[in-house]
């Protein structure tokens, strides 16, 4: 029994490995492990197998390890062949853009709850800061219809306290760009604290964008203060391992990296950005993720990013043709206004 304890303990740790482990590396190690099986070097084989990806693969690999120690090499390798087949299908993570803008009011609690129910891997959202320094969830720094209607148009969120901001209804009017969007009258702009409160509903992650503008400093706190306010909410909910902080303005990403190196950052890129993905990531303080507009994504750029150890998460990708192009290019995840539609499409592709 003692011997099996030392087999199972590392396998338990293996279940906690990041699901984005590169498939090719896992396949190489699995193949190497098979050679060790037949050479009766079981402990070495299991050490290699601990790096395989996906929960099902790990479960089957654990079973294979038990067969290894029982000297049933043929059964073990049959299971490993199944692991290899499964690992060949890399999982594409789905980010619900502004929750699920295609079907619910953007950046709202109804949108986030819809995305969670649909099975999104990540909730993508935007942040602003009120006059009383509360981090709230909004793409636009200025309130205007059709997104939000209230006492007056064109007022900046930074000019309002949270109590004043609650007077705006951000679910009463359908966005004409999304004909399937359902209105939810009475919807208020949520705080980041309220959105993080949804964390207990699953194991999904949060991809949160600092909406900050060098040309409009009056719209937000300075980059360092913005990063501090956001980090306080992350730590309050103990979500350091489940949050990605993204931005087009890399000052907040660099600030966050200094404050909390354990929090992942993502360098956003516009459609006219001419830089390669590796250069953009370096400019963002060596961000581990780069998030380009889907129009500038190519297979070659993604391959170069992967070679540098980066993950690539294109935005905002809303049609089957666009989804297919991103999958073929090798994207690690896709940000979409229609997470449910993307999830269903990916299931059919498998």
Task: Answer with the residue of higher pLDDT: 18 or 269.
Answer: 269
The pLDDT, as a whole number, for residue 350 is: 82
**Mean pLDDT over residues 241-265, rounded?**
98
DSSP string for 25-68: HHHHHHHHHHHHHHTT-HHHHHHHHTT--SHHHHHHHHHHHHHH
Give the gyration radius of the chain's Cα atoms: 23
> What is the rounded distance in angstroms from the CA atom of residue 179 to the CA atom of residue 58?
43
Question: For the segment 37-64, what is each residue's pLDDT rounded down to a tens digit?
Answer: 334 444 444 444 443 434 444 444 454 4
Average pLDDT over residues 157-166: 98
Q: Which of 71, 70, 78, 90 is nearest to 30 (CA)?
A: 78
For residue 271, is pLDDT > 80?
Answer: yes
Kindly state the average pLDDT of the residues 122-136.
98
DSSP string, 215-254: T-GGGS--HHHHHHHHHHHHHHTT-TTTEEEEESSHHHHH
**Average pLDDT for 300-319:** 98
**Domains in the chain and their CATH numbers?**
2-87 (no CATH), 93-349 (3.20.20.190)
Mean pLDDT of the chain: 84
**Average pLDDT for 154-183:** 98
Q: Residue 124 above 60 pLDDT?
A: yes
Lowest-pLDDT range of 57-71, 189-203, 270-284, 293-307: 57-71
Tell me 172's DSSP state: S
What pLDDT was estimated at residue 40?
40
Reading phi first (left if > 0) and then psi (alpha if -120 to 50, else beta), residue 40 is in left
Whole-number pLDDT of residue 79: 52
Least confident of 257-261, 319-323, 346-350: 346-350
Whether pLDDT at 171 is above 80: yes
**Contact partners, residue 298, CB within 8 Å, separation at least 6:** 329
Average pLDDT over residues 185-207: 98
Q: What is the pTM of this model?
A: 0.78
The percentage of residues in the chain with a pLDDT greater than 90, rounded to a whole number, is 74
Which residue in 139, 271, 306, 311 is the catalytic one? 139
Per DSSP, the three-state class of 343 is: helix
Structure tokens at 41: 């070097």
pLDDT at 176: 97
Q: Which of 97, 144, 271, 311 is catalytic?
A: 97
- The verdict on whether 139 is a catalytic residue reads yes
Other Cβ atoms within 10 Å of 175 Cβ, number: 16
What's residue 31's pLDDT? Answer: 47
DSSP letter at 293 equals B
Confidence check: pLDDT of 179 > 50: yes
Read off the tokens for 140: 């636009």
Q: What is the DSSP string of 131-145?
A: TT--EEE-S-SEE-T
DSSP code of residue 316: -
Give the Cβ contact number of residue 162 at 10 Å.
17
The CA distance from 326 to 319, in Å, is 11
């Amino acid at each position: 029994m003692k011997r099996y304890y030392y087999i199972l303990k590392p396998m338990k740790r293996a279940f906690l490995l990041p699901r984005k482990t590169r498939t090719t590396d896992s396949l190489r190690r699995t193949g190497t492990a098979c050679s060790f099986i037949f050479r009766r070097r079981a402990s070495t084989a299991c050490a290699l197998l601990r790096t395989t990806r996906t929960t099902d693969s790990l479960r089957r690999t654990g079973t294979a390890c038990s067969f290894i120690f029982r000297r049933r090499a043929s059964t073990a390798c049959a299971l490993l062949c199944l692991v290899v087949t499964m690992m060949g299908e890399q999982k594409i993570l789905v980010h619900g853009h502004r929750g699920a803008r295609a079907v619910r009011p953007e950046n709202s609690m109804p949108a986030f709850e819809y995305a969670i129910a649909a099975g999104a891997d990540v909730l993508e959202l935007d942040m602003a800061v009120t006059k009383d320094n509360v981090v709230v969830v909004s793409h636009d720094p200025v309130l205007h219809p059709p997104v939000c209607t209230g006492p007056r148009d064109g007022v900046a969120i930074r000019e309002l306290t949270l109590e004043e901001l609650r007077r705006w209804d951000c679910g009463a009017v359908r966005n004409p760009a999304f004909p399937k969007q359902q209105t939810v009258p009475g919807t208020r702009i949520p705080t980041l604290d309220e959105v993080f409160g949804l964390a207990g509903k699953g194991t999904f992650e949060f991809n949160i964008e600092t909406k900050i503008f060098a040309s409009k400093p009056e719209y937000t706190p300075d980059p360092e203060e913005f990063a501090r306010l956001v980090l306080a909410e992350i730590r309050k909910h103990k979500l350091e391992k489940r949050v990605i902080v993204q931005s087009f303005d890399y000052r907040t990403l660099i600030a966050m990296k200094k404050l909390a190196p354990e929090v992942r950052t993502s360098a956003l890129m516009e459609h006219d950005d001419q830089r390669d993905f590796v250069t953009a990531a370096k400019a963002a303080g060596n961000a581990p993720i780069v998030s380009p507009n889907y129009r500038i994504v190519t297979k070659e750029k993604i391959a170069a990013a992967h070679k540098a150890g980066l993950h690539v998460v294109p935005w905002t990708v809303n049609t089957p043709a666009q989804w297919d192009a991103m999958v073929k290019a090798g994207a690690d995840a896709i940000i979409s206004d229609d997470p449910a539609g993307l999830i269903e499409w990916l299931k059919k592709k498998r």
